[in-house]
Amino acid sequence: MVELVELQTIAYIAQTVGVVGTLTAAFIAVRSYINANKRSEEANKKEQETRDRDLDTRQAQLLMQIYDRVNNRDFTRDWGETNYFWKWDDYNDYFKKYGANLEEYPKFQNIIDTYEGIGVILQNKLVDPKLIYGVLRVSPLLYWEKFSPLMKKWGADAGESLMYPGFEFLYEEMCKQYELEHGYKFGYKIRSADDVVKK
């Protein structure tokens, strides 16, 4: 017959084995959980890196499209002609020479629509303003300075604060980039809609 001491010893051994088994199972479960989390974090990190690369690629593609748009012959010719050679005495003179002239007006519209579109791209944070400034430099600043009084007048006449808000945003962002790069503000003063000066 099995003695009581032997039964107690067997019970202690069984209990110890059960506790050790439970601890071992808990350790394995915790270890598996930690490893699963590490694998999940690594997968998430790789997924984020892929998304970041895709975003950089899309941003680079968009930037190159902008670069191609502003560095083609038509845009460059229209920008130079309208910015350097268009002269007017007052708003009526401008409108007669360029605004109502079907040969001339599309040159202005080509430039203004391009800058409006680039401004909308910046407003939606699709491209870094530093990159846009690197491509455009001061060209939109000069253009805004010359034509903003007209745009403000058109906006006032139409009951809008401004006809080209994307272009205004582009102007402001490029002014910030100019100041960051050069250490001082862009040197021209924006004129009011009422002050359509001689050009």
CB–CB of 178/186 below 8 Å?
yes
What pLDDT does residue 5 have? 66
With respect to residue 64, please indicate whether it lies within any of the assigned structural domains.
no
Is residue 167 in a domain?
A: yes
In this prediction the pTM is 0.71
Range of the domain at 84: 71-182
Q: Check whether 83 has a pLDDT greater than 90.
A: yes
Same domain, 25 and 76: no
Work out the burial of residue 171: count CB atoms within 10 Å of its CB; fewer than 13 is exposed, 13-18 middle, 19 or more buried.
buried
Structure confidence at residue 38 (pLDDT) = 83
Q: 178 and 133 in contact (C-beta within 8 Å)? A: yes
Mark whether 90 and 171 lie in a shared domain. yes
- Same domain? For 79 and 157 the reply is yes
How many domains is the chain partitioned into structurally? 2
Tell me the per-residue pLDDT of 147-180, one tens digit each, with 9 for 90 and over.
998 888 888 888 887 789 999 999 999 988 888 8
Domain check: are 95 and 168 in the same one? yes
Q: Are residues 102 and 142 in the same domain?
A: yes
Which pLDDT tens digit goes with each residue over 135-152? 999 999 999 999 998 888
The DSSP-derived string for 1-30 is: ---HHHHHHHHHHHHHHHHHHHHHHHHHHH
Say yes or no: 31 and 100 in one domain: no
- Of 28-32, 106-110, 112-116, 119-123, the one with minimum mean pLDDT is 28-32
Q: Is there a single domain that holds both residue 93 and residue 173?
A: yes
